[in-house]
């Protein structure tokens, strides 16, 4: 792939759920080797945008090019090829509950490569090592904690050494040490392998640590799309509000802030568990 | 009048969603077959180990209960048959009725109903859970076709195993009926076996086995359609699992009738 073509290119994307428009005229591009963070308030359409980038939803109008290919006109076989070059870590992990952690991570290799079992075993353990889960390959997802599930999902997402990695809320629900190690991991993956990485997150600290560029979504529209510093120093009042509102609110009403933080944390910590009790 | 219009509208909606569901089922069946046949060409072959795993689950694990129930049904038919024919003093002809009923009707039916209860519901629950856990999205973004990975293996396993299980049910049922008949009518088991062999035509066997294969397809597709339609968390999974058993058994009984009507007349 030539480094001139953007890893992701979205042009005038408009999408609806039923009659309700969720994304309005979203255009953005992600350069190769870039860490691109999508931010925005709850309900602003981040997950919806991510699902479109993954080809799980079909846009009403607009074009999405992934690694130079328009995913809505691609043949099934080409799309399959494309998908082996991208990795996704879902927010809930979405590990296959009927398979051990090791089998989960090995699955893309078993399905898409001709590697023998020994090599697959080595690669699997290597990736588990990368996310500090060495020795957990024989456990079932139900036996892992929320944060471990998230890291296992991360290992599965990178097992094929993708060109493009998507992470939905990678650090939500993790303790600060692990969360920061995930940030380091994201930086390391980009530096070592030149991956382009798209991260959806609420975490401002993490965003400022890892992002090359930030896209701020607001009510389905791109409010701003710029480098970290430019966003920080943006004269745009709405962006400043968005960046500062949290801290302001915290100062005005620490109780509400605390409650919100706790509620938020609980929600995220529970999400994988909820998924699994859905069994 | 208004109530009647409302009722009519609801009926219309129900019918429309029924037709849509039927279309979904047909599409799924087509796709599952497509992957079985052409998966290799699409570089996504249906893996034999996962078919084998499904087959173990559907088949071997169901053998004990199928054995017990076919024995019971064989005995039941023999008892009823002798009782009925006694009125004409024709008990000696009981083998004819028993053998044909077991092979053509009871074995495939009881096997189908059992497999619907055991494996169809399990399939619905598994797919439903995977759906609400985003595991199906997860497969899709990995470039693994969910129909190929989740539907084709059980479909193939069912199509192969249902006839085999039915054949086993035939043998067990005929044997149990034979034991009762030979004791009750003071004949020998060998004479009974001879009689069965002359009575049963290949056609009768095939009639039962073909129905079994069709029931296998019905159970799989009904389970998958219900699992894939799950919404609303764990409760939704439970609801759809129940629904899948009810639908699968209804589909089996109705299809049986249609099949018999078309083939036998
Ligand atoms: N499956 C769906 N059907 C209908 N509407 C939906 C669906 N998913 C999301 N929406 C709506 O689309 C809008 C954007 O939702 P989305 O999940 O993309 O937000 P988000 O930015 O990811 O929010 P959060 O940070 O809370 O995850 C919301 O108004 C939501 O109600
Ligand atoms: Mg979201």
A28: containing domain: 1-85+163-279
Q: Is the CB of A17 under 6 A from ligand 1?
A: yes
Three-state DSSP class for residue A57? coil
Q: Could you tell me which residues are beta bridge partners of residue B125?
A: none
Judge whether residue B139 has pLDDT over 90: yes
- Per DSSP, which regions of A18-89 are E strands? 20-30, 35-40, 61-66, 69-70, 86-89
Task: From residue B40, give the alpha-carbon distance in Å to each of A248, B47, B148.
Answer: 59, 10, 11
Q: What is the mean pLDDT of residues B127-154?
A: 91
pLDDT exceeds 70 at position A269: no
Q: Which tens digit of pLDDT belongs to each residue from A131-188? A: 888 888 899 999 988 888 888 998 999 999 898 999 988 877 778 887 888 888 889 8
Mean pLDDT (whole number) for B166-172: 96
Residue spans per domain, chain B: 16-264
pLDDT score of A276 more than 60? no
User: For residue B236, what pLDDT is reported?
Assistant: 87
Q: What are the chain B neighbours of A277 within 8 Å (beta carbons)?
A: 234
| Total number of domains constituting chain A | 2
Q: What is the layout of strands, in order, in the sheet containing A20-30?
A: A20-30, A8-17, A61-66, A69-70
**CA of A48, closest atom in ligand 1:** 18
Are both A167 and A157 inside the same structural domain?
no
Backbone angles phi, psi at A66, to 5 degrees: -110, 125
What are the structure tokens assigned to A125, written together? Answer: 């353990």
A159-186 per-residue burial string, b: 16 or more CB within 10 A, e: under 16: bbebbbbbbbbbbbbbeeebbebbbebb
Which of A211, A171, A230 lies closest to A34 in space, CA to CA? Answer: A211
What would the pLDDT profile of B222-245 be if each residue is shown by its tens digit?
Answer: 999 999 888 878 888 888 999 999
Distance from CA of A160 to the nearest CA of B (A): 10
Residue A199 and residue A277 share a domain: yes
Same domain, A75 and A53: yes
For residue A278, name the pLDDT band (cuts at 50, 70, 90): very low
Mean pLDDT over B119-146 rounds to: 91
In angstroms, the CA B172 to CA B105 distance is 14
Q: Examine the domain organization and report whether A271 and A175 are in the same domain.
A: yes
CATH of the domain at A5: 3.40.50.300
pLDDT at B251 over 90: yes
Q: Are residues A70 and A173 in the same domain?
A: yes
Are A181 and A268 members of one domain? yes
Q: What local confidence, expressed as pLDDT, does residue A252 receive?
A: 57
Is the domain of A25 the same as that of A61? yes
A141 and A179 together in one domain? no
Final residue of a structural domain among A143, A161, A179 = A161
Rounded mean pLDDT, A63-84: 88
Structure tokens at B244: 């899948």
Distance between CA atoms of A62 and A26, rounded to whole angstroms?
A: 9
pLDDT tens for B178-221 read: 999 999 888 888 999 999 999 999 999 999 999 999 999 999 99
What does the pLDDT read at residue A245? 57
Res A264: pLDDT: 59
Ligand 1 atom closest to the Cα of residue A50 is 18
**Residue A203 and residue A124 share a domain:** no
- Tell me whether B140 touches chain A (CB under 8 Å): yes
Interchain pair B42, A86: CB under 8 A: no
The verdict on A77 and A174 lying in the same domain is yes
Q: Are residues A244 and A170 in the same domain?
A: yes
**Which of A161, A194, A212 is the last residue before a domain boundary?**
A161
Domain boundary among A131, A161, A191: A161
Query: Within the 260-279 window of chain A, which residues sit less than 8 Å (CB to CB) from chain B?
Result: 275-279
pLDDT in tens, B45-72: 888 888 888 888 888 889 999 999 999 9
- How far apart CA B121 and CA B35 sit, in angstroms, is 23
* A92-116 tens-digit pLDDT: 889 998 899 999 999 999 988 888 8
pLDDT band at B151 (very low <50, low <70, confident <90, very high): very high
With contact defined as beta carbons under 8 Å apart, do A174 and A142 qualify?
no
Same domain, A51 and A171: yes
Q: Please say if the pLDDT value at position A7 is more than 80.
A: yes
């Amino acid at each position: 792939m030539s480094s001139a073509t953007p890893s992701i290119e979205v042009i005038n994307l408009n999408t609806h759920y039923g009659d309700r428009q969720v994304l309005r005229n979203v255009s953005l591009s992600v350069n190769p080797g870039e860490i691109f963070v999508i931010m925005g308030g709850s309900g602003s359409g981040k997950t919806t945008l991510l699902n479109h980038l993954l080809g799980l939803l079909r846009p009403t109008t607009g074009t999405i090019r992934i690694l130079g290919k328009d995913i809505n006109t691609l043949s099934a076989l080409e799309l399959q090829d494309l998908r082996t070059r991208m990795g996704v870590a879902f927010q809930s992990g979405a590990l296959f509950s009927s398979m051990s952690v090791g089998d989960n991570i090995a699955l893309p290799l078993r399905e898409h490569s001709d590697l023998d079992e020994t090599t697959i075993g080595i690669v699997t353990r290597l990736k588990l090592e990368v996310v500090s889960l060495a020795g957990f390959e024989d456990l079932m997802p139900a036996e892992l904690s929320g944060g471990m599930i998230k890291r296992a999902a991360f290992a599965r997402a990178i097992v094929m050494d993708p060109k493009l990695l998507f992470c939905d809320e990678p650090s939500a629900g993790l303790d600060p040490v692990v969360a920061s190690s995930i940030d380091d991991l994201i930086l390391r993956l980009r530096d070592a392998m030149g991956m382009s990485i798209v991260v959806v997150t609420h975490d401002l600290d993490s965003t400022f640590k890892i992002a090359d560029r930030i896209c701020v979504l607001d009510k389905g529209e791109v409010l701003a799309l710029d480098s970290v510093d430019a966003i920080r120093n943006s004269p745009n009042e709405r962006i400043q509000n968005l960046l500062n509102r949290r801290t302001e609110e915290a100062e005005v009403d620490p109780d509400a802030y605390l409650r919100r933080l706790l509620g938020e944390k609980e929600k995220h910590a529970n999400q994988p568990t909820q998924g699994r009790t859905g069994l | 009048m208004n109530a009647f219009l409302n009722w009519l509208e609801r009926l219309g909606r129900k019918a429309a969603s029924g037709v849509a569901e039927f279309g979904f089922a047909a599409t799924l069946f087509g796709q599952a077959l497509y992957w079985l046949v052409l998966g290799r060409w699409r570089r996504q072959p249906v893996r034999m180990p996962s078919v084998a795993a499904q087959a173990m689950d559907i088949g071997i694990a169901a053998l004990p209960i199928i054995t017990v129930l076919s024995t019971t049904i064989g005995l039941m038919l023999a008892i009823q048959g002798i009782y009925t024919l006694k009125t004409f003093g024709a008990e000696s002809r009981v083998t004819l009725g028993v053998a044909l009923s077991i092979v053509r009707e009871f074995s495939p039916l009881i096997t189908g109903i059992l497999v619907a209860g055991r494996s169809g519901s399990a399939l619905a629950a598994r797919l439903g859970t995977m759906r609400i856990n985003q595991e199906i999205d997860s497969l899709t973004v990995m470039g693994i076709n969910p129909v190929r990975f989740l539907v084709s293996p059980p479909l193939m396993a069912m199509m192969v195993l249902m006839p085999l299980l039915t054949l086993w049910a035939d043998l067990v049922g005929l044997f149990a009926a034979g034991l009762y008949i030979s004791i009750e009518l003071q004949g020998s088991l060998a004479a009974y076996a001879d009689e069965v062999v002359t009575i049963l035509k290949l056609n009768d066997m095939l009639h039962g086995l073909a129905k079994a294969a069709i029931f296998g397809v019905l159970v799989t597709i009904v389970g998958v359609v219900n699992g894939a339609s799950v919404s609303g968390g764990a409760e939704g999974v439970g609801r759809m699992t129940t629904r899948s058993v009810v639908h699968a058994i209804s589909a089996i009984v109705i299809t049986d009738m249609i099949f018999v009507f078309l083939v036998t007349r």
